[in-house]
Amino acid sequence: MSTADITLPTRRSGAKTVAQLLAFVRRHVLTVYSLLFFLYLMLPIGVVIAFSFNHPTGRFNYRWRQFTWDNWLHWNAVPGIQSAITLSLEIALFASIVATALGTLIALALVRYGFRGRGVTNLIIFLPLSTPEIVLGASLATLFLHSTGYGVSIPFGFWTILIAHIMFCVSFAVVTVKARLIGFDRHLEEAAMDLGANEWVTFRKVTLPLIAPAILAALLLCFAISVDDFVVTYFNAGNRVTFPIFVWGAARVATPPQINVIGTAIFAVAVTCMLGNVFLQNRRAKTA
């Protein structure tokens, strides 16, 4: 405020107050704006969390009645919810691991080696990222339906969901790992070979440790995308029910608060992973 006093010398105190107010707003406008925006982002999540502790009277968990721990204690009291969560976690685990492994190898090939068709491969990798999910889902369903005609029979279910998830996760994994590889000094690998490490040792001792953060990020990203996916899964799930499909089905007849419980749990795990990652990076930056 003292600078305002000096730069705006006025006699009347009213004008002075206005000037002070303006200066205050000017100084804090970014803070206020950020807080508002943060609120806008967090409010829906806050509501989800709060309603996981609600004790609704009817079938719909839309109006706050009273606080309870029951939903958390009996999180699997709703028929079908536990198997849906199990399936979602299984799919997400396998899909993220396979997609990240494939994605890392593809990224290495795309960045490290000049081969024919590299440009085309780049483009194809990018396609699933830019294609609407509904198109992806529908085309995959068509593919699986028609595969019988070519002698391969994949009934809709676990495997079709897994294949679909791996397919769209690979692109995310490639993009994530590629970004890290591009900013990577190639001379590091040459230096390792120069010092007597063969290709495999070079990969293990130099390349892998240096792209590990990107691989971890890809793994988490793929897991999150897979757990969350509805559209593509819906087309290819047959009669299997993943968590998003369960929520969608349930919402037509009832919204049990257990859905909020699972949502809150997923959110908590995601935030923990993220904070853990930030913490690790900070510590590494400090000690390194």
* Count of chain residues binding other proteins (CB under 8 A): 19
Helix (H) or strand (E) holding 8: none
DSSP H helix total and E strand total for the chain: 13, 0
Q: Is 54 helix (H, G, I), strand (E, B) or coil?
A: strand
Which CB, 46 or 209, lies closer to other proteins?
209
Nearer to other proteins, 5 or 190 (CB): 190
| 177, 214 contact by CB (below 8 A) | yes
CB of residue 109 to other proteins, shortest distance in Å? 19
Q: Which CB sits closer to other proteins, 63 or 112? A: 112
127 binds other proteins (CB under 8 A): no
In the complex, the smallest distance separating the C-beta of residue 172 from other proteins, rounded to whole angstroms, is 25
Closest distance of CB 236 from other proteins, Å: 41
Q: Is the dihedral of CA 35, 40, 45, 51 positive or negative?
A: positive
Give me 94's structure tokens.
């396998």
- Whichever of 72 and 184 has its CB closer to other proteins, that residue is 184
140 touches 231 (CB < 8 A)? no
Give the single-character DSSP code of 177. H
Q: Would you say 28 or 284 has its CB closer to other proteins?
A: 284
Q: Pattern 83-102, binding to other proteins, x per CB under 8 A?
A: --------------------
Instruction: Give me the least distance between CB of 118 and other proteins, in Å please.
Output: 16
The one-letter amino acid at 64: W
Minimum CB–partner distance for residue 206 and other proteins (Å):
6
Residues from 179 through 238 that contact other proteins (CB under 8 A): 185, 187-188, 190-198, 201, 205-206, 209-210
Nearer to other proteins, 106 or 215 (CB): 215
- Closest approach, Cβ 188 to other proteins, in A, equals 5
Contact between residue 244 and residue 88 where contact means Cβ atoms under 8 Å apart: yes
Nearer residue to other proteins within complex by CB, 195 or 271: 195
Residue among 247, 210, 211 at smallest CA distance from 227:
247
Q: Is the dihedral of CA 260, 76, 82, 247 positive or negative?
A: negative
Inter-residue contact 237 to 157 (CB < 8 Å): yes
Residue 167: which of 226, 108, 105 has the closest Cα?
226
Positions that interact with other proteins (CB under 8 A): 185, 187-188, 190-198, 201, 205-206, 209-210, 287-288
